[in-house]
Amino acid sequence: MPSTGAIAGRRAPSHQRRHARLELWARYRRHLYADEDLDLVLDVSRVRFPESLFDAMSKRVGAALDAMEHLEAGGLANADEQRQVGHYWLRAPMLAPSLQRRDIIDAIAQVRRFACSVRSGEIAGPGGRFEHVIHVGIGGSALGPQLVSEACGRPADALMVHFLDNADPDAIDVLLGRLGDALPRTLVSVVSKSGLTPTPWQVMLELEAAFHEQGLGLARQAVATTMAATPLDRRAAEHGWLARFPVWDWVGGRTSVTSPVGLLPAALAGMDIGAFLAGAAAMDRTTRQRSMAANPAVLMALMWYWLGDGRGGKRMVVLPYKDRLALLPRYVQQLVMESVGKRHNRRGEVVEQGLTVYGHKGSTDQHAYMQQLRDGTPDFFITFVNVAHDRDGPSPVVASGATLGDHLFGYAEGSRQALHDRGRDSISIDLPDVSPSSLGALIALYERATGLYGELIDVNAYDQPGVDKYGAADVIALQRLVVVGLRKLKAPATAEMIATLIGRPDETETVFKLLRRLARDPLRGVAEIRGNDRFDARFRSIEGSVL
């Protein structure tokens, strides 16, 4: 409406427009999904799908729901890796096979007990009661816990959770600098499902050194979350860490937030993890329904499919109007893009599928890229996420008889309408609040929608064959060859000469970059002698290398 100034009496709407708006209201009523228990609303009325869509897709949706049933019953849903996919069991252990059931129940109890002991001070650090947690993990081992922490954390929480989710040494220094002399009251939680993910392992080694430098032993302040008998699990056992929490083969990283991976930091911060699990479980029940109109995950997956023609032809902009949910778009980005961004379909055909997700938060982003969304390339759809609860406590009126929260709602509603007026489609999700329960439900909704969408486009949504291809290992191995090769040099040599010397002339470019990188740091034992241009530079080994 803002685009025409049609409401609030500025200009009477034309009959045509009035008619169109009344039709939209009818469409809104007709297609609204409202979950009275969860107090959650999904509105797909502003996607211009034809009414025939449901009939046309009912068979395929039925097959997708069948596949989800098979998955939940313990079938090998991740065929490539011959693995079960069990994240739905995490919040409904009674539905899990008996072995998994026991594991889940025990793990949740163990998380609760441990968090309780830490918060009570029964388990404490050498400096007393723990006040901080450093959560070390990457990808699925970090993003879910970060989302939960930002969404549900409170300034009064007894423990503050910090994250190290990258191989960036400077980030470690910044965090340790911030923690200052609180290190003796800091718990370190290392999370790696495989127990050998390089980055968390290496960050752990860095922290060990930093703790040691302050006269602290990491073991006395550390816990591990990993599968049984992994290198991390063994190290934690051998070094006598405070505790070890399980995660299982049948939980994927990007869907591990309702496992100990996400529950432990949440419980440590004091969040009601029971409510979180219950919210997810309630949404799971709802999204098992066969009726398309009564299943919000089906509605969402169907919209994604229709909007992008089953090819991801439109980018999905996720826009929560709430600072606490600013990480939701990145969480959904990981969940969706890693699940459906696949080269092959299940029949082995090359399909190069995907569904690009981005976004941050409204109304802030209205002042950033929304200019393009309204006026520019129409290659996207938006999902607005609104939160009814503005804040704890009353709000002052800040303008026009309205509160700040009223304005936030106004921005979302105004944007939805302005985009619709320009033919840009949108989905809206209304949440009652950002509570553990609502967050659990929202996450479960996106998990199920992603799984169903994966079925509709016939890709394995549970593997990630491309991720392992990005390792640093080959570059690091090349670096070793370079360092060793340099030591054998009789005279300084160019990158091209050194690459040939070590038998890798095809890797000259990377050798060149490695040499320049090493030569920048006086402690690395590599000297650069400048030439006529940067490519003529010669390098030699010098004494005192730390490598």
Catalytic residues: 338, 367, 469
Question: What would the x/- binding string for a second copy be over residues 159 to 198, using CB under 8 A?
Answer: ------xxxxxxxxxx--xx-x-----------------x
CA distances from 11 to 1, 414, 523 (A): 11, 17, 72
**Closer residue to a second copy (CB): 241 or 409:** 409
Residue 402's beta-bridge partner residues?
A: 399
- Provide the mask over 239-268, with x wherever binding to a second copy is found by CB under 8 A and - wherever it is not: --------------xx--------------
Position 401 contacts a second copy (CB under 8 A): yes
3-class SS at 23? helix
Q: How far apart are the first and last CA of the chain?
A: 65
Q: Does 270 bind a second copy (CB under 8 A)?
A: no
- Contact pick of 135, 322, 448, 538 for a second copy (by CB under 8 A): 322
- Tell me the C-alpha distance between 332 and 356, whole Å: 10
140 binds a second copy (CB under 8 A): yes
Among 48, 102, 290, 480, binds a second copy (CB under 8 A): 480
Q: 76: burial class by Cβ within 10 Å (0-12, 13-18, 19+)?
A: middle
In sequence order, what are the beta bridge partners of 42? 33, 429
Q: Which is nearer to a second copy, 111 or 337 (CB)?
A: 337
Choosing from 110, 194, 289, 364, the residue that interacts with a second copy (CB under 8 A) is: 364
Euclidean distance between CA atoms 11 and 14, whole angstroms: 9
147 binds a second copy (CB under 8 A): no
| Residues between 34 and 73 with contacts to a second copy, criterion CB under 8 A | 34
Does 464 contact a second copy by CB under 8 A? yes
d(CA 415, CA 409) in angstroms, rounded, equals 10
372 binds a second copy (CB under 8 A): yes
Smallest separation (angstroms) from a second copy to the CB of 210: 9
- Which one of the spans 67-75, 128-136, 241-249, 480-488 is the region binding a second copy (CB under 8 A)? 480-488
By CB under 8 A, residue 220 contacts a second copy: no
Selected from 293, 379, 487, 488, the binder of a second copy by CB under 8 A is 379
Buried b (16+ CB within 10 A) or exposed e, 224-233: bbbbeebebb
**How far is 357 from 326, CA to CA, in rounded Å?**
14
Tell me: does residue 199 bind a second copy (CB under 8 A): yes
Q: What is the DSSP letter of 411?
A: H
Q: Sort residue 164 into left (φ over 0), alpha (ψ -120 to 50) or beta.
A: beta
The residues near 64 (Cβ < 8 Å, ≥ 6 apart) are: 298, 301, 452, 455, 456
Say whether residue 544 binds a second copy (CB under 8 A). no
420 binds a second copy (CB under 8 A): no
Asked if 532 is part of the footprint of a second copy (rule: CB under 8 A), the reply reads no
Minimum separation from the CB atom of position 412 to a second copy (A): 9
Q: Does 507 bind a second copy (CB under 8 A)?
A: yes
DSSP string, 253-276: GGG-TTSHHHHHHHHHHT--HHHH
With beta carbons less than 8 A apart as the criterion, state whether 494 and 536 touch.
Answer: yes
Closest distance of CB 457 from a second copy, Å: 11
Residues 343-362 that bind a second copy (CB under 8 A): 343, 352-358, 360-362
Is residue 5 a contact residue for a second copy (CB under 8 A)?
Answer: yes
